[in-house]
């Protein structure tokens, strides 16, 4: 094994053990001042919480907008926001939030509980047509409000200025993680009314930065909010430049006109071996799992577990990790090791060619299968290269596949409708909770476009998922999610491939920055030493 590969495997093992790796910790005293230059791939257009749908909006909005809770910098969990603490009733229905005294909007007014009632009902208003409305649909009275049968959502109760009570129609443990979304941030009614349809261009909220100069299509700047409840950020400002091309970002980074960048494959070895950046490269597990999925409603894979297992054991994941420059890790289940319910890390490829051949014989195909299977996939270069490796692996056990690279729309249609026998697929969490991966991928109510593309149906798994969603006991949820993952692994509707690792680089003078598992970087703790 060569030295670089040894280092890469060591890195993967370390990441598996630690979950998310921030950049090297700096023991110097943080300094105030300076402007950090980051990037977006397109102009965010607006920052109204009700219209947050794209990555380019979210990465900026997370620094301007804030609600009851906020994402931690690592993107793996939540921490208090405007609510300094909260409690849940024993039946899991009533969530009580205690708001901070003195937390302020960017316009200088104190945030009170009525502001959250206004903000949530604004999101739920059918005339707003917000994509975030579904995140509130478990509140008592939500349906009546959306149908125009009630003037308020009765499940939102303002107890007093600093106490907000949210009542759900049924227990739902992931609710608190959803509340960290920028789309559920608090906004002041007077600012919304003042700016009207242009509110998103002014984005008055309560986050650590305020919206500053905005040159559409070129750049925008956010400035430190002096009255932020946690104290003003160390940085004076963050300037986001609109740079779509990934390699252009690296050119700008090399010229020190960009302070943070995602490392592209073409520049990976050069930058990761340059001692200048030894303490300036950060690795994060994204909450992402890739797999081959079998259509459980089509033959021959649907009813033949041994055949599905043969595919799983034939695949050389190690060769794929090498192709990906070890910016991924082995996956032997859906959840990542550092997540609630994630279990023990997988540190080696499951490939076992002899066992795969035994499974082929058990499946009734000791001499292979005559049929050629099309594996559908989006026409992404990396995916095609990965599937070419698996194509050779499967040929060794007598399964012949062709790679059906499709444009994204056609792929989504085929995947969602079940018009395939075997396909590449993945799941990416939308919020830092195992439910964001487990429910859409495994629950039978999610079959089709909602995320259960394998069309997997196991009533026992459904019941356990429902139990995990309703439980407010973390130890119980951890046990349940491990049990669910293990049960699905036993049924094997998905042959797991890898978990993605996101790699960022920053200038050596940028301190306390770390990439986010949800790819939503926050800058209120970052500082510049120059």
Q: What percent of the chain has pLDDT over 90?
A: 82
Q: Which of 99-103, 254-258, 313-317, 347-351 has the lowest mean pLDDT?
A: 347-351
Dig out the tokens for 315 from the structure. Answer: 């695949």
> For residue 77, how far is the Cα from the chain centroid?
11
Q: In which band, very low, low, confident or very high, does the pLDDT at 14 lie, cut at 50, 70 and 90?
A: very low
Tell me the per-residue pLDDT of 169-206, one tens digit each, with 9 for 90 and over.
999 999 999 999 999 999 999 999 999 999 999 999 99
**What pLDDT, in 10s, does the model give residues 71-116?**
999 998 999 999 999 999 999 999 999 999 999 999 999 999 999 9
Count CB neighbours of 493 within 10 A: 24
More confident residue, 131 or 387: 387
Q: Residue 456: pLDDT above 80? A: yes
Distance (Å, whole) CA 97 – CA 158: 10
Average pLDDT, the chain: 92
DSSP-derived secondary structure for 384-421: HHHHHHHHHHHHTTT-EEEEEEE-HHHHHHHHHHT--S
Q: Which residues contact 44 (CB under 8 A, 6 or more apart)?
A: 54, 56, 57, 60, 61, 220, 240
Q: Helix/strand/coil (H, E, C) string of 309-326?
A: HHHHHHCCHHHHHHHCCC
The answer to whether the beta carbons of residues 464 and 487 sit under 8 Å apart is yes
Considering only CA atoms, give the Rg of the chain: 24
Show Cβ contacts of residue 248 under 8 Å, excluding neighbours closer than 6 positions.
Answer: none
- CA dist., res. 390 & res. 140, Å (int): 49
Residue 218, exposed/middle/buried by CB under 10 A (0-12, 13-18, 19+)? exposed
User: Any idea of the CA torsion for 242, 263, 253, 47, to the nearest 10 degrees?
Assistant: 30
Task: Please indicate whether residue 58 or residue 355 has the higher confidence score (pLDDT).
Answer: 355
Tell me how far CA of residue 101 lies from CA of 106, 160, 460, 482, in angstroms: 15, 12, 46, 40
Q: How confident is the model at residue 10 (pLDDT cuts 50, 70, 90)?
A: very low
C-alpha triplet 430, 426, 73: angle, nearest 5°: 35
Map residue 78 onto helix, strand or coil. Answer: strand
The C-alpha atoms of residue 287 and residue 515 are separated, in whole angstroms, by 12
Residue 428 is predicted with a pLDDT of 87
Cis peptide upstream of residue 300 (ω within 30 degrees of 0) = yes
User: In the predicted model, is pLDDT for residue 514 greater than 60?
Assistant: yes
Query: Is 95 strand, coil or helix?
Result: strand
Task: Report CA-CA distances (Å) from 343 to 17, 22, 66.
Answer: 11, 22, 32
């Amino acid at each position: 094994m060569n030295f670089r590969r040894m280092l890469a495997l060591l890195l993967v093992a370390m990441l598996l053990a630690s979950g998310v790796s921030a950049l090297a910790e700096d023991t110097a005293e943080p300094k105030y001042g300076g402007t950090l230059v980051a990037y977006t791939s397109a102009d965010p257009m607006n920052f109204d919480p009700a219209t947050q749908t794209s990555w380019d909006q979210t990465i900026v909005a997370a620094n301007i907008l804030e609600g009851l809770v906020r994402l931690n910098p690592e993107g793996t969990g939540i921490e208090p926001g405007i609510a300094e603490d909260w409690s849940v009733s024993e039946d899991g229905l009533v969530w009580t939030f205690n708001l901070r005294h003195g937390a302020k909007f960017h316009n200088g007014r104190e945030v009170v509980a009525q502001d959250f009632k206004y903000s949530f009902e604004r999101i739920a208003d059918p005339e707003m047509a917000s994509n975030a409305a579904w995140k509130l649909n478990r509140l008592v009275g939500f349906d009546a409000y959306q149908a125009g049968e009630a003037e308020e959502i009765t499940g939102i109760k303002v107890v007093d200025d600093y106490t907000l009570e949210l009542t759900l129609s049924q227990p739902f443990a992931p609710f608190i993680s959803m509340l960290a979304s920028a789309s559920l941030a608090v906004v002041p009614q007077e600012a919304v009314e003042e700016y009207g349809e242009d509110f998103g261009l002014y984005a008055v909220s309560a986050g650590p930065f305020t919206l500053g100069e905005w040159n559409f299509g070129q750049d925008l700047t956010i400035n430190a909010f002096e009255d932020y409840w946690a104290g003003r950020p160390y940085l004076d400002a963050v300037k986001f430049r609109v740079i779509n091309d990934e390699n252009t970002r690296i050119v700008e980074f090399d010229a020190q006109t960009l302070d943070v960048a995602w490392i592209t494959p073409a520049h990976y070895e050069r930058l990761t071996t340059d001692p200048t950046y030894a303490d300036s490269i950060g690795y994060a597990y994204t909450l992402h799992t890739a797999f081959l999925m079998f259509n459980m409603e089509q033959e021959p894979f649907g009813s033949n577990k041994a055949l599905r297992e043969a595919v799983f054991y034939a695949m050389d994941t190690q060769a794929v990790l090498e192709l990906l420059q070890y910016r991924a890790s082995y996956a032997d289940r859906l959840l990542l090791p550092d997540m609630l319910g994630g279990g023990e890390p997988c540190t080696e490829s499951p490939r076992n060619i002899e066992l795969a051949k035994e499974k082929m014989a058990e499946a009734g195909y000791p001499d292979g299968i005559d049929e050629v299977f099309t594996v559908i996939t989006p026409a992404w270069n990396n995916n095609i290269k990965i599937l070419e490796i698996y194509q050779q692996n499967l040929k060794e056990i007598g399964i012949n596949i062709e790679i059906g690279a499709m444009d994204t729309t056609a792929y989504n249609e085929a995947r969602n409708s079940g018009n395939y026998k075997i396909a590449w697929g993945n799941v990416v969490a939308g919020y830092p909770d195992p439910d964001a991966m487990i429910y859409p991928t495994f629950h039978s109510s999610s079959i089709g476009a909602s995320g259960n593309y394998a069309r997997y149906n196991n009533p026992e798994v459904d019941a356990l998922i429902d139990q995990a969603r309703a439980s407010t006991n973390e130890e119980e949820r951890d046990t349940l999610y491990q049990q669910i993952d293990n049960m699905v692994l036993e049924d094997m509707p998905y042959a797991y491939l890898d978990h993605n690792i996101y790699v960022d680089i920053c200038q050596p003078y940028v301190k306390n920055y770390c990439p986010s598992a949800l790819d939503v970087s926050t800058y209120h703790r970052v500082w510049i030493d120059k």
